[in-house]
Structure 1
Amino acid sequence: MSSKTADADAERATAYPPATAIQESPKRRWVSYIWDTFDKAPEERRLLTKLDAAILSFASLGYFIKYLDQININNAFVSGMKEDLGMYQNQLNYMQAAWTVGYVIGEIPSNVMLTKIRPRYWLPAMELLWTVLTMCLSRCDRPTQFYVLRFFIGLAESTFYPGMQYIIGSWYRKDELAKRSCIFHTSSGIASMFSGYLMAGVYNLGGRGGFKGWQWLFIIDGVISLPIALLGFIVLPDVPEISNPWYLTEDEVKLSQKRMQLEGRQPRGPYTKAKLKKIFTSWHIYILTAAYITFNNASGGQPVFQQYLKASTNPVYTIGQINSYPTTTYAVQVFTTLVYAWTSDSILRGARWPPIIFGAVSNIVCYASLAVWNIPEGWRWFCFIMSGAGYGLSGLLFAWAHEICSEDNEERALVVGSMNELAYVFQAWLPQVVWQQVDAPRYRKGFITGTVMSVLLILFTAATWVLERWETGKKRAGLVGSEGTGSLSSAYGELGEENVVVDAQGK
C-alpha cells in the first residue's frame, strides 16, 4: 500500500470512528423493495428510523413551505391580483425574475458556507426570514414592491433546496438516497397542489380585515410556515462528522460516520488550490450541471394551465376551478416522482438514468403537442396534466451527483450548488424571452423550448452514464488510486470483519 493511500486510510479512520453494526446483504429480501430499512440490521434500522423522522420530515415540510411561498404568486395572479394592480403586461415575468435573481445570488455561497458552519442554525434561520417576508407581500399595492420583496425571498430560499440535498447526501447510502431525495422533492408538487386548493378556499375571505382574497393567501402561507421554520432549530442535524443531535446516541453517531466511510463519502475538508483545480478539471461539474439546467428549464414556471382556463370563454371557469383543476398536474408529479425513486433504488439497483430518460420523453410528447396547439381538446388537457411526469427528476439527478462526487465532500457541495445555481441563472432570463406573459395561454416559443431542453436532457444523461462507466472502469483497472473508490467490498476489507455484523443466513 502506498504512503498516500495509507495516509488517506488513517485520515478516514480518524474522521469516522469504528462502529459495530453495519450489515451487508448480498441477497435482498422482498421487504427491502417496499422500504430499504426492513433489510438492515436492527441497530442500523433504528438509526435510519430516527434520521428519517428528523431529516426527511423536516426536509419535506421545509420544502413544502418553501415551494408554497414560491408558487403562491401564480395563484394570487390568476385570482384577482392581476386586475387589482393592473398587471396587464409582463409584470408576472418580472416578479418571477426578481425572485430568481435573488435565488441565483445566494445558492453557491450558501452551499460553500455549509461546509464551514453548522447547517442546523443556518437553514432554519433563513426559513424564518422568508416566512416573514412572504407575509409582508400581503401589504404590497404596487408591482415594484413585489419585485423588491420577491428578490429577498429568493435570496433566503436559495439556501434550502441545495442545502438539504447536501445534508441528505451526507447521511444516506446509495440504496437509500434516491427514495429520500425524491420524497423530499415531491413536497414541491404537494405544495403546488395545496396552494391551488388554499387559494380556492381563502378567496372567499376577501374583504375581511381589509384584505382581498389573494392577499389572505400570503398571510396564511406565513402562518403555516412559521412553526415549521422553528422546528428546524430542534430537529435538523449537522453532517455526521460534527453532528451530535439530541435524538442520536454516541454509538449511532459513530455508526452514521462508518456508513459514510463504507460509501466512500468523504468528511469535510479545506478548499485548497489543488482541490479546486481537481474539481474544475473534472467532467463532473460540467456535465451534471448541464443536465440539471436542461431539466429545470424545460418548463418556464408560468401557470400555463391556469392561464388557459382563465382565458377560456366556452366554457367560463370559476376562480375555484381555475385554481383546482391544474392541481392534477402536480398529482401526476408526486406519483411519478415516487415511482421513479422506488424503481431506481430497488428494481434498477441504483441506476438513475432510465427514469430520467422516461421523464424527458414524456416532456417531449407533451410540449411538442402543445406547441402545435391546434389539437383535440381532450389531448390538450392530457398534455397539460401529464407534463407533471417530467417535473419529478430533480431528486434522481441530485442522488446521481452525490454518488459520482462521493470521494470529495467539497466537490459534492460545490457541484450540487452549481447544478441548482446555474439552472436558475438560465431561469432568470430564459422565461423573459420564450415564456412572456403577453403570449399566454399559447406559449408557442416556450413549448418549443421545453421540447428542445428535454432532448438535450436525454443527451446529457447519456453522456453522464457513459462517463461514469468509463471512470468506474479506470478505477477498477487500477489506473486510479484506491482512495475513495466507494467500493463496498474494498471498504469492508479495509475495516476488518470485526466491524461488520453478518446474520446466520449469510446476509
Structure 2
Amino acid sequence: MTSRVKQYFRGEQSAPGERKLLFKLDAFILTFCCLMYFLNYLDRSNLNNAYVSGMREDLNFKGNQLNQINTVFTVGYTIGQVPCNIALYYIKPRYFFPACMVAWAGLTMATAGAQSPGGIMAIRFFQAIFEASTFVGTHYILGSWYTERELGKRSGIFTASGLAGTMIGGFIQTGINSSMDGLHGLSGWRWLFIIDGIITLPVAIYGFFLFPDTPRNTKAPYLSADEKALAISRVPEVSERTPISWRFLKHCFSTWYWYFFVVLWIIAGETESFSTNALLALYMKSHPTKKYKISQLNNYPTGVPAVGIVSTLFWATLTDFMGGKRYLVGYWIAITGVITSAMILAYPNSTSIHFGAYYWAGSVYACQATFFAWANDVLRYEEDSLRAVVIASMNMGSNAVNAWWSIVFYGANFAPRFTRGMWAMISVSIAMAIWCTLLLWQQVRTEKRREVESAAIAVVEKEQDLPRMQGHESADNKV
C-alpha cells in the first residue's frame, strides 16, 4: 500500500521526457486556469460581500432583489456555456480566454458606478456571458492534455482555486471596508469592484502570451517538437466532426452521455445551494437575536469555501488514487445533504448547529472537480466535439435550473431559516445517490461493450494479416 501511494504521488510517467512535459503543462496551463478561475469567483462572490457591506442600504435593495440579480446572472451564464466551448474550436484558447477576461474585468469595474439594483442586474447579465468561458472551457482543456490518471488532481486544484476566490473575497472586502471606505467619496463596496477588475488584467496578458492552446495546434515556444509529439500521443486518437452541424447534433442527442451527465450536474448543482447562495451570510444578516458586525458578516462565511477546498483536494486525489471511482463523491454528497438539512430543521433556534451544518455542507463542493473529471474519463474515447458539448451542457443545464431554484427555495426573504430549502436539499441529495448508481451501471455496460468490440477488431485484423504472412513465408521458401 505504501509503495502504491509513493508511486501515485511521484507519477507513473514512463515515456522519456514525460515528467518534464507535465511540469511545463502544470506551470503554464494549470497556473493560468487557476488564476483565471480564482478571479472569476472573486468577481462573482463579491456581490454577496458587497451586499452585506453597505450596498443593500446604499442602493435601497428590497425583498429578494439580490436573488433576482443572481438569477439574471445565472441566465447569462447559462446562455454562454455551449457557445463558449464551441468557440474554442474556431478561436485559439490563448486569444479567447484573455479576451473574455478583459471584458468581464471591465464590467466588474462598471459595477462600482451602479446607482440601482436594476443597473447591477444589467451589468451582471453580460458579465456572466463572458465568465461562462472559464469553468467548462478549462475542463475541456484539461481533458485535452492530461491522462485519466492525472486529471482528477488537476481538476481538484482548479476547482479549489475558485473556492479560494470565494474565501479570500470576504477578507478583501473587510480590508477594503476598513481602509478605503469613503476614499474619494466612494463606499468600500464600490472600491471592491474597482480593485477586482484591475487585478484581472495582468492575468489576461499572461494567458495571451503563454497559454499553449491544445496538443494538436499548440505553438508554445517552451515546448519542443518532441514534447508536442509526446503530448499528442498521451491522449487517445479520436474521430472528429464539426460541432456546428445537424448531423453532429443528432449524434450528440442519440448518445447516453449527454442525458446522464447533464442530469448528474443538474442534481449536483442544487446540492451546492447552501454554499452558492451564500446562505450562511444571509442567515447571519437576518439573525433574529444577534447583530453581527460587517467584518463578521464577511469573515465567518469564509469557513464554508475553506471546507470546500479541503474536501475538493481530498476527494479528487483519492478518486484518482482509486482508479477513477468518482461516483463515491456522489454518495458522500447524498449523506452530507440529508444530515445537514435535518440538523437545521431539527434545531431551528440553535446558532451553533446552523454554523456547523453550513460549514459541513461546504464539503459538497468536491463534486465540481470529480464529476467533470468523471465526464472527461468516460468521454475520453469519443470525439472531442462531443466531449466539449457534453461538458458545456452539464453546466448549462445546472444553471438553467439554478435560475429559478434559488428564488423558489433560497430567496433572501426566507432567511434565516430557509425551511423550504432544507426539504429541497434532502430531496436532491437522495436523488444524487440514485442517479450516481444508474450512471455507474451505464458506464460499466459501455466499457464492457467497448472491450468486446476491441477484441473483435483485433481478431479480424489478425485474420487479415495471416494470409499476408503466409504469402511472405511461401516467397521465402521459393527463394
Q: With the length of structure 1 as denominator, give the TM-score of the two structures.
A: 0.85
Aligned letter for 2:271?
A
Aligned letter for 1:276?
L
Alignment map for 1:98-177 (pairs within 5 Å) = 98-177=72-151
Determine the structure 2 residue equivalent to 1:330: 305
Alignment map for 1:34-433 (pairs within 5 Å) = 34-36=9-11, 40-204=14-178, 205-261=180-236, 266=238, 268-271=240-243, 273-300=246-273, 301-312=276-287, 314-346=289-321, 348-374=322-348, 376-406=350-380, 407-433=382-408
User: Offset at 1:457?
Assistant: 1.6
Distance in 2, matches of 1:365 and 1:132, equals: 42
Aligned letter for 1:165?
H
Alignment map for 1:25-36 (pairs within 5 Å) = 30-36=5-11
User: Offset at 1:84?
Assistant: 1.3
User: Offset at 1:482?
Assistant: 5.2
Please, which runs of 5 or more residues in structure 2 have no aligned partner? 459-479
Taking a change above 3 Å as real, the CA distance of residues 351 and 206 of structure 1, as seen in their structure-2 partners, is same
Give CA deviations for 1:245-292 in whole Å, capped at 9, x if unaligned: 11111110000000013xxx5375324554433321111100111000
Aligned residues: 453
Determine the structure 2 residue equivalent to 1:455: 430
State whether residues 373 and 442 of structure 1, in contact with CA within 8 Å, keep that contact through their aligned partners in structure 2. Answer: no
Distance in 2, matches of 1:54 and 1:36, equals: 19
User: Offset at 1:68?
Assistant: 0.5
Give CA deviations for 1:215-237 in whole Å, capped at 9, x if unaligned: 11111111221211221102212
Taking a change above 3 Å as real, the CA distance of residues 268 and 110 of structure 1, as seen in their structure-2 partners, is farther
Distance in 1, matches of 2:155 and 2:446, equals: 24
Distance in 1, matches of 2:290 and 2:393, equals: 45
State whether residues 305 and 326 of structure 1, in contact with CA within 8 Å, keep that contact through their aligned partners in structure 2. Answer: yes
Distance in 1, matches of 2:217 and 2:362, equals: 39
State whether residues 286 and 416 of structure 2, in contact with CA within 8 Å, keep that contact through their aligned partners in structure 1. Answer: yes
Helix, strand or coil at the partner of 1:312: coil
Taking a change above 3 Å as real, the CA distance of residues 479 and 171 of structure 1, as seen in their structure-2 partners, is closer
User: Offset at 1:374?
Assistant: 2.3
Higher helix share: 2
User: Offset at 1:40?
Assistant: 4.3
State whether residues 285 and 415 of structure 1, in contact with CA within 8 Å, keep that contact through their aligned partners in structure 2. Answer: yes
Over the matched positions of the two proteins, sequence identity in percent amounts to: 33
Distance in 2, matches of 1:360 and 1:246, equals: 46
Helix, strand or coil at the partner of 2:324: coil
Distance in 2, matches of 1:480 and 1:405, equals: 20
Helix, strand or coil at the partner of 1:139: coil
Distance in 1, matches of 2:266 and 2:367, equals: 12
Taking a change above 3 Å as real, the CA distance of residues 137 and 373 of structure 1, as seen in their structure-2 partners, is farther
Distance in 2, matches of 1:482 and 1:292, equals: 35
Name whichever of 439-448 and 153-162 sits farther off: 439-448
Q: With the length of structure 2 as denominator, give the TM-score of the two structures.
A: 0.90
Q: Computing the radius of gyration over CA atoms, which structure comes out larger, 1 or 2?
A: 2
Taking a change above 3 Å as real, the CA distance of residues 479 and 46 of structure 1, as seen in their structure-2 partners, is closer
Helix, strand or coil at the partner of 2:325: coil
Helix, strand or coil at the partner of 2:453: coil
Name whichever of 108-117 and 373-382 sits farther off: 373-382
Distance in 2, matches of 1:480 and 1:74, equals: 55
Distance in 2, matches of 1:79 and 1:312, equals: 16
State whether residues 197 and 323 of structure 1, in contact with CA within 8 Å, keep that contact through their aligned partners in structure 2. Answer: yes
User: Offset at 1:147?
Assistant: 0.8
Give CA deviations for 1:43-87 in whole Å, capped at 9, x if unaligned: 000000000001110111100000111111100001111111111
Distance in 2, matches of 1:232 and 1:401, equals: 26
Alignment map for 1:479-498 (pairs within 5 Å) = none
State whether residues 371 and 443 of structure 1, in contact with CA within 8 Å, keep that contact through their aligned partners in structure 2. Answer: no
Distance in 2, matches of 1:87 and 1:165, equals: 36
Distance in 2, matches of 1:35 and 1:60, equals: 22
User: Offset at 1:32?
Assistant: 3.1
